[in-house]
Structure 1
Amino acid sequence: MTPENPRHLPFFVYGTLRPGEVNHDLFLRGRTRAEDPARLAGAALYDGPGYPYAVEEPGGVVCGELVTALDEAYAELLGALDQLEEYRPGDPGRSLYLRVEREVLREADGAAVRAWVYLAAPAIAARLRERGKLIESGDWRNRR
């Protein structure tokens, strides 16, 4: 698998792309066929300036939604989300987030599903672990 020809996986969203958040309707409305509550284990959530960062961290759990795109909207949505998350497939060193494949658990039935997740790029993740504001609940909606 290469970034230029990614597998058609669902997306795990945990911040401003969740239903009711600022980017949900801008990016996802009319482009999805399913949005199911899900959890990402092995990650922690940090509060950024206006948006969250998920960082790989044993023992942590991040709450979000598993978003399944419509087939006809997939390529356009993938590009739009990569741009939103400042993921540069050809230059990951300059990326804000990295798009990685991870297993998430769908809450309704406990099914493990492979999905794309945008995690903080390594340099950002290191700074967050050192001095970032951890969202202890793992849920962006409960950050305050």
Structure 2
Amino acid sequence: MNGTGPPFFVYGTLRPGEHNHDLYLRGRTRSEEPGRMAGLVLHPGPGYPYAVEEPGGTVTGDLVTALPGVYEELLAELDALEEYAPGDPHNLYERVMRDAVLADGRTVRAWVYIAAPSVAARLRAVGRPIESGEWPGATADAPAHGPG
């Protein structure tokens, strides 16, 4: 992929100003643009959110494009952060390709980490979505390494 690939849609601790943004993304992105992703709702997790597929929902986040030459390394690091391994039935998140809409109306295909099926089922059954669709930010007791 000559060092580049699809951008990432981030909605939690990887957003600009959040802890994991500084750890994983600072200085490694070509662009970071506010956007929205339809068909998802946010659920709070233990210090970080889960995006759960749900028609009619919308999540606010940022579209992050990696600098050329760091894409593969960044993809591997984000997969590790999110504890995602392709095909692993124990994943908490799945990395999927979805459309994000930017402030200027452009639609861009991007990777997004959504709740894995078993996690999503539990959250739909007993969770309470974040109505605004926007992660309110880390709390003082949020884990520094949580997915995002």
TM-score (norm 2): 0.88
Matched residue, 1:3 = none
Deviation at 1:22, TM superposition (A): 1.1
Tell me the equivalent position of 2:10.
13
Q: Which residue of 2 aligns with 1:43?
A: 40
Could you tell me whether the CA contact under 8 Å between 1:92 and 1:98 is conserved in 2?
no
For the residues of structure 2 that align with 1:52 and 1:59, how far apart are their CA atoms? 18
Tell whether the 8 Å contact from 2:18 to 2:137 is kept in structure 1 after alignment. Answer: no
In 2, Cα distance between the equivalents of 1:71 and 1:127?
38
- Alpha-carbon distance in structure 1 between the residues aligned to 2:128 and 2:85: 25
RMSD: 1.6
Note the 1:89-108 alignment, pairs <5 A: 89=86, 91-107=87-103
Q: Percent same amino acid at aligned positions?
A: 63
- 1:135–1:143 Cα contact (<8 Å) kept: no
Once residues 14 and 137 of structure 2 are traced to their aligned partners in structure 1, the CA distance between those partners, rounded to angstroms, is 15
Q: Deviations over 1:4-47 (max 9, x none)?
A: xxx81000000000011110010001110100000000110000
Report if the CA contact (8 A) 2:48-2:138 is conserved. Answer: no
Which residue of the partner structure matches residue 80 of structure 1?
77
Q: Which structure carries more relative contact order (alpha carbon 8 Å, separation 6+)?
A: 2
Confirm or deny that 1:63 pairs with 2:47.
no
Segments of 5+ residues of structure 2 without an aligned counterpart are 140-148
Give the count of matched residue pairs: 136
Residue 129 of structure 2 is aligned to residue 134 of structure 1: yes
Q: Would the alpha carbon gap of residues 40 and 121 (structure 1) be closer, same or farther in structure 2, given more than 3 Å must change?
A: same
Match of 1:31 in 2: 28
Distance 2:133 2:41 in 1: 6
Q: More helix per residue: 1 or 2?
A: 1
Deviation at 1:58, TM superposition (A): 0.4
Quote the residue 1:122 is aligned against. Answer: 117
